Chain A
Amino acid sequence: MSFIQNARKLLQQNIREYGMYIALFVIMTIFTITTKGIFISSRNIVNLVNQTGYIAVLAVGMTLVIVIRHIDLSVGFLGGFLGAIAAIAMVQWHLPVYLAIPLTLALGVLAGTITAFLVAQMKIPAFVATLAGWLIYRGAILVVTESTGTIIIPDKTFNAIGNGFIPDIPGIEFLPGVHKLTLIIGVLAIVLLIINEINSRKKKQAYNFEVLPMEMFIIKLVFTSALIGGITWLLAGYQGLSWTAVVVLVVVLIYHFITTQTVLGRHIYAVGGNPEAAELSGINVKKITYIVFGSMGMLSALSGILFASRLQSATTTAGSLWELDAIAAAFIGGVSPAGGIGKVVGSIIGALVMLSLTSGMNLMGIGISYQYMARGAVLAAAVIFDVATRNRAQ
């Protein structure tokens, strides 16, 4: 088979998966051109990553919630509320940051467990249960900030999460102005990726499974390596990897591992694919529901922490519309509304698409009204594309 035919076949078979990468690439290219390169500048990319952080972690949790055929509308204001709690814990209760953060995360898990109780035990549709949560947490933010208004957070460690960068290795003269540790991490990531891909390919070949033709495999490796390399170079050229990026990467790695490699992950997808069959296969569907909503609550708390830390304060409006951005990110990232299908990494790409649109249009000076419309159109287009390719695959 010729090279072009291979490429076409590969694209056709994986159009759904590659579609969002292509979309992200196209969006970024367009904005780079329209903003005369400002969009792709180191500074803007770093900003983009930091702004995406709090939506990205929500999108990761939302992926699993939608995979098990539920939805969580309460995550935005829950995040906002818990961000305020973190601020209060440090400012009013004088808790140290390394206690305030675990406390907030634990409260997030608790909140998620309450949602799970309503959904799994009381059999209330998740849409309704979490809509109630949306209202309650919205009110709760106002209650806790009633006397103070916006709470300024003075803690430097806490604020570094949203604004700081990882330290560089001191004493290296080589490449001045470039963040060496970031470069090293980037190179390590590329090496690990290549080793991992080659191993997995060998394994598949040993079982006579279909693998990419060699030249396609190499192109894919070169392409992904170049992508990681490019982003690393951009980040390293500014101040290096931000703590937000580190948090998001860690969350994504953990959740990617859980969803693809563990029994728990398999059980989650089985529950989403067919809850009755899963129950009869000995999977405790209630338990899975508790775990998924509990994780969603924890990630909401993390999202609130990232946001509060970025603003260095807890505001009364924190959390509004986050849930919709997270849900949109998940759908753009290929999560199926019918359940059982969706990847954590896809949702992160979805979040990047949404935030790239905002960032790019901001740079171009487009008004907020048109921004909403553009984002709505992209969401609709993504889902239409998803449905169309899904039908063709059958």
Chain B
Amino acid sequence: MNTPILEMKNIIKEFPGVKALNNVSFQVKEGEIHCLVGENGAGKSTLMKVLSGVYPHGQYTGEIIFGGNVQNFKGISDSEKTGIAIIYQELALIPEMTVYENIFLGHEIKNGAIIDWNETIKRAAEMLKKVRLNVNLAAKVKELGVGKQQLVEIAKALSKDVKLLILDEPTAALNEDDSENLLNLLRDLKNHGVTCVLISHKLKEVIEIADSVTVLRDGQTICTLETQKGEVSETALIKYMVGREIDNIYPKRENRQFGEVVLNIENWSAYDPALGRSILKDINFHVKKGEIVGFAGLMGSGRTELALSIFGNPDGYNITGEIFIMGNKKHFRRPQDAINAGVAYVTEDRKGDGLILIQDVKQNITIANLKEIANRGVVNDNTEVNVANEYKDSLNIKTPSIEQKISNLSGGNQQKVSLAKWLFVKPNLLILDEPTRGIDVGAKFEIYTIMTRLVEQGMSIIMISSELPEVLGMSDRVYVVSGGKIAGELAIKDATQEKIMQLATNY
């Protein structure tokens, strides 16, 4: 257990203008679960890309020793051959193929040139047993939930005789049950001799599962902590990650006086013709001026669908029910109508349907409200620059220039640009869908501070979140959604993690 299976020594990786990794050393012992933590942009993913050969030998300096030998990987296939497998946040499965086809994709079991499907299916079944996944082998991957897809991906890695399994934020998209299930599986694999490196932002699960933790910050190794020696704790990790101690990341709110009802939803139901089933059932809720209303629930409980159905229904659900904005009945046919009525929606998936990655910061900030900076349809460049700079300063968006492409910004700063875009439409009601997903502690604190400032100025916020501490820390009132219904409403003084989970899992 004490021999290192992997040693990365003095790794330096430079991109034009940035030293992404500055003399990083990283050591993983055989048979342990080693967590890699750090703020976004700390260099975790880059380090793993160096290890897996995405950045081939020669594009970095330093030494990789794996299984006792110095390795010079020229590509991913080299690292896979030596027994290293990486599972990325974005899963690399083919949705239209079956489970067993996916598991052996790229290393098919062949008889000469012909695929031996019987053997493939047999071996695939064994792999699924190992990851304790009970699904139809012939099901298409797209029919499985994210949690199960993740397990298929792990099964695929195991089928390649993996010695070192690297998981990049595997639980980011999973609900509590699936996360727990995954962590149990990792323990199980550890007992069967598979070494694991886990990149995660969820410090609770890190503490729960890690044998040792390495903290990266600004491209440098800060420290490696051992669980056995009692060095791993949340405060210690946060301290090393951000370089300062954050006592309470939820800012204090002075004034919790709320005004009139801004949004009222009555008897709201929705049917999704694409899925062929009802997704929202008889939902009633309201939001007051200056209030942060939390929407808790499991993944797939219908919270995002609820937000979309209110926000002009771009996915074309069949809806019954009524929306009242400031007491006036409204009918939104498309997002533009909702925006005009003072509603803004910051999406869950900022890269997928939030931002335009190939455009710059400035263009992303103004896109939802170009008429504000245009005169008879002609965009005024000067006004646009002023607007973008204003939001860059007020939201503390860290970018060298407002002409920087969005894809070059870190997750937290991308999220701030999303916020800026929607604040620029001057809404009365801001719907935030997972506002801090995948962003680091420092940026989270900034987002929370901005939210607090906004409600103090009289804005109302709906916050959809799967992170219970965040729901409890930020909300004034909590609705729990389960199976497309409002399972319960909790005043913040009555809300606890246990109560919320109980309602959320109560179908």
Residues of A within 8 A of B (CB): 203, 207, 209-210, 261-267, 269-270, 273-274, 276-284, 340-341
A282 near B368: Cβ-Cβ < 8 Å:
yes
27 contacts between A and B (CB under 8 A): A207-B389, A209-B401, A210-B401, A262-B378, A263-B371, A263-B377, A266-B363, A273-B356, A273-B358, A274-B353, A274-B356, A276-B352, A277-B352, A279-B353, A280-B345, A280-B353, A280-B354, A281-B335, A281-B368, A281-B421, A282-B334, A282-B336, A282-B338, A282-B425, A283-B336, A283-B367, A340-B358
Q: Does B379 belong to the interface (CB within 8 Å)?
A: yes
Q: A280-B335, A280-B345, A280-B354 are in contact. Are A266 and B370 (CB under 8 A)?
A: yes
Q: Does B482 belong to the interface (CB within 8 Å)?
A: no
Q: Does B145 belong to the interface (CB within 8 Å)?
A: no
Chain B residues 409-427 with CB under 8 Å of chain A are 421, 425
Chain B 305-345 near chain A by CB (<8 Å), digits 1 or 0: 00000011010000000000000000000111011000001
Q: Which of B352, B356, B377, B389 contacts A262 (CB 8 A)?
A: B377
**Nearest CB in chain A to that of B370: its residue:** A263
Which B residues touch A284, using CB under 8 A? 334, 336
Which B residues touch A209, using CB under 8 A? 401, 403
**Nearest CB in chain B to that of A273: its residue:** B356
Q: Does B382 belong to the interface (CB within 8 Å)?
A: yes
Q: How far is the CB of B337 from chain A (nearest CB, A)?
A: 8
Q: Does B491 belong to the interface (CB within 8 Å)?
A: no
The 4 closest A-B pairs by CB, nearest first: A276-B353, A273-B356, A282-B336, A281-B368
User: How many angstroms between the C-alpha atoms of A282 and B334 in the bound complex?
Assistant: 7
A282 near B374: Cβ-Cβ < 8 Å:
no
A264 near B335: Cβ-Cβ < 8 Å:
no
Main secondary structure, interface of A, reads helix
Q: How far is the CB of B435 from chain A (nearest CB, A)?
A: 15
Which B residues touch A265, using CB under 8 A? 379
Which A residues touch B377, using CB under 8 A? 262-264
Q: A273-B358, A280-B311 are in contact. Are A267 and B335 (CB under 8 A)?
A: no
Which B residues touch A269, using CB under 8 A? 359
Q: Does B381 belong to the interface (CB within 8 Å)?
A: yes
User: How many angstroms between the C-alpha atoms of A53 and B212 in the bound complex?
Assistant: 69
Q: A209-B401, A270-B356, A273-B356 are in contact. Are A279 and B379 (CB under 8 A)?
A: no
Which B residues touch A264, using CB under 8 A? 377
User: How many angstroms between the C-alpha atoms of A150 and B312 in the bound complex?
Assistant: 53
**Nearest CB in chain B to that of A341: its residue:** B358
**Nearest CB in chain B to that of A282: its residue:** B336
User: How many angstroms between the C-alpha atoms of A267 and B334 in the bound complex?
Assistant: 16
A207 near B385: Cβ-Cβ < 8 Å:
yes
Q: Does B355 belong to the interface (CB within 8 Å)?
A: yes
Which A residues touch B345, using CB under 8 A? 280
User: How many angstroms between the C-alpha atoms of A263 and B374 in the bound complex?
Assistant: 7
B379 near A263: Cβ-Cβ < 8 Å:
yes
Q: Does B150 belong to the interface (CB within 8 Å)?
A: no
Q: Which of B334, B353, B371 contacts A277 (CB 8 A)?
A: B353
B378 near A282: Cβ-Cβ < 8 Å:
no
User: How many angstroms between the C-alpha atoms of A269 and B314 in the bound complex?
Assistant: 19
> Considering residues B347, B355, B357, B358, which has the most beta carbons from chain A within 10 angstroms of its beta carbon?
B358
Chain B 282-321 near chain A by CB (<8 Å), digits 1 or 0: 0000000000000000000000000000011010000000
Chain B residues 61-107 with CB under 8 Å of chain A are none
User: How many angstroms between the C-alpha atoms of A375 and B277 in the bound complex?
Assistant: 53
A273 near B335: Cβ-Cβ < 8 Å:
no
Q: Which of B314, B370, B389 contacts A267 (CB 8 A)?
A: B370
Q: How far is the CB of B473 from chain A (nearest CB, A)?
A: 27
B311 near A262: Cβ-Cβ < 8 Å:
no
Q: How far is the CB of B386 from chain A (nearest CB, A)?
A: 9
A279 near B335: Cβ-Cβ < 8 Å:
yes
Q: A266-B367, A266-B379 are in contact. Are A278 and B352 (CB under 8 A)?
A: no
User: How many angstroms between the C-alpha atoms of A280 and B357 in the bound complex?
Assistant: 15
A203 near B381: Cβ-Cβ < 8 Å:
yes
**Nearest CB in chain A to that of B380: its residue:** A261
Q: How far is the CB of A311 from chain B (nearest CB, A)?
A: 38
Q: How far is the CB of B176 from chain A (nearest CB, A)?
A: 28
**Nearest CB in chain A to that of B389: its residue:** A207
Given A261-B378, A280-B311, 6 more A-B residue pairs with CB atoms under 8 Å apart are A262-B378, A266-B367, A273-B356, A277-B347, A283-B336, A340-B356
B379 near A261: Cβ-Cβ < 8 Å:
yes
Q: How far is the CB of B13 from chain A (nearest CB, A)?
A: 15
B370 near A274: Cβ-Cβ < 8 Å:
no
Which B residues touch A270, using CB under 8 A? 356, 359, 363, 367
Chain B residues 400-453 with CB under 8 Å of chain A are 401, 403, 421, 425
A281 near B367: Cβ-Cβ < 8 Å:
yes
Q: How far is the CB of B136 from chain A (nearest CB, A)?
A: 30
Which A residues touch B425, using CB under 8 A? 282
Q: How far is the CB of A16 from chain B (nearest CB, A)?
A: 13
User: How many angstroms between the C-alpha atoms of A270 and B335 in the bound complex?
Assistant: 15
User: How many angstroms between the C-alpha atoms of A265 and B381 in the bound complex?
Assistant: 13
Q: How far is the CB of A309 from chain B (nearest CB, A)?
A: 32
Which B residues touch A341, using CB under 8 A? 358
Q: Which of A261, A277, A279 contacts B355 (CB 8 A)?
A: A277
**Nearest CB in chain B to that of A339: its residue:** B358
Which A residues touch B382, using CB under 8 A? 203
User: How many angstroms between the C-alpha atoms of A270 and B421 in the bound complex?
Assistant: 13
**Nearest CB in chain B to that of A208: its residue:** B401
Which B residues touch A273, using CB under 8 A? 356-359
Q: Which of A262, A276, A279, A283 contacts B374 (CB 8 A)?
A: A262
Q: How far is the CB of B299 from chain A (nearest CB, A)?
A: 19
User: How many angstroms between the C-alpha atoms of A207 and B345 in the bound complex?
Assistant: 31
A277 near B314: Cβ-Cβ < 8 Å:
no
Which A residues touch B358, using CB under 8 A? 273, 340-341
Q: How far is the CB of A276 from chain B (nearest CB, A)?
A: 4
User: How many angstroms between the C-alpha atoms of A277 and B364 in the bound complex?
Assistant: 10
B357 near A274: Cβ-Cβ < 8 Å:
yes
Q: A209-B401, A274-B356, A340-B358 are in contact. Are A279 and B378 (CB under 8 A)?
A: no
A278 near B314: Cβ-Cβ < 8 Å:
no
Q: How far is the CB of B303 from chain A (nearest CB, A)?
A: 16
Q: How far is the CB of A291 from chain B (nearest CB, A)?
A: 12
Q: Which of A261, A266, A282 contacts B335 (CB 8 A)?
A: A282
A277 near B354: Cβ-Cβ < 8 Å:
yes
Which A residues touch B335, using CB under 8 A? 279-282
Q: How far is the CB of B171 from chain A (nearest CB, A)?
A: 25
